[in-house]
Amino acid sequence: MGRYNNVSISVIRRLPRYHRFLEDLLNKGVHRISSRELAQKMSLTASQIRQDLNCFGGFGQQGYGYNIDALYAEIGKILGLDKGIKCVLIGAGHLGTAIGRHIPYESYGFNLVGVFDADPRVVGGELRGLTIKHTDEIENFCKLYNPKMAILCIPKDTTLEVVDRLYNCGVFGYWNFTQVDLQLFYDDIVVQDIHLGDGVMTLCYLMNEHGIPGEER
């Protein structure tokens, strides 16, 4: 089905990071880099970089290094950032509003086409040029616009009910900020769980293990 079926997920997860570093170099006016220099910048090994990029055909020339413009464009194409997959934001509270406003969706392969909330005080407001609709309208909206991805910024209790409805409308990608582990409930969806609480609890653990200076243990 896919174009790069044999590429491991760990390589894929590194691609956005390459994309980010290459963009940074382009912004600084750098257009060519050796795998060794790039490796240094990213704290990887040159051979890992060559291996990673070879999964997709390889873009380097011995003795010349990588053409950053070409490599950047190609990684963008591999990631599919030119596709503009239609997505909806569910939940326009504090977090939803920030995620709605903060993310340059167009640069990341998405096109935000709808925003929904269950709170009548929020419905009718505006976010990123879109009028916030009531979650009751999800089905009608999906019939018209056919979004494929949903960003979930809703309370835990309502998550599964909302996802069930979105799923039945053909939404199969989820950027999930709720506390629910969505992957446990569906086999045939694609999920990025952002469990902010898990991350900050891990940070708490690591800081305590590191030892808080000035405190007795």
Query: Within positions 153 to 212, which residues make up the interface with a second copy, using CB under 8 A?
Result: 170, 172-173, 175, 179, 181, 183-184, 190-192, 194-212
- Smallest gap from Cβ 63 to a second copy, in A, equals 27
CB neighbours (10 Å) of residue 78? 19
Contact predicate 122/132, CB 8 Å: yes
Which stretch in 46-54, 100-108, 137-145, 160-168 sits in contact with a second copy by CB under 8 A? 100-108
Q: Please give the distance of CA 89 from its chain centroid, rounded to a whole number.
A: 13
The residue among 31 and 83 lying less far from a second copy, judged by its C-beta, is 83
Q: 16, 58, 124, 155: which one contacts a second copy (CB under 8 A)? A: 16
The residue among 105 and 141 lying less far from a second copy, judged by its C-beta, is 105
Under the criterion CB under 8 A, does residue 3 sit at the interface with a second copy? yes
d(CA 79, CA 109): 8
Contact predicate 96/89, CB 8 Å: yes
d(CA 173, CA 171): 6
Binders of a second copy among 27-56, rule CB under 8 A? Answer: 41-43
The residue among 29 and 63 lying less far from a second copy, judged by its C-beta, is 29
- Smallest gap from Cβ 33 to a second copy, in A, equals 16
Indicate the burial class of 147 (C-beta count within 10 angstroms; 0-12, 13-18, 19 or more): buried
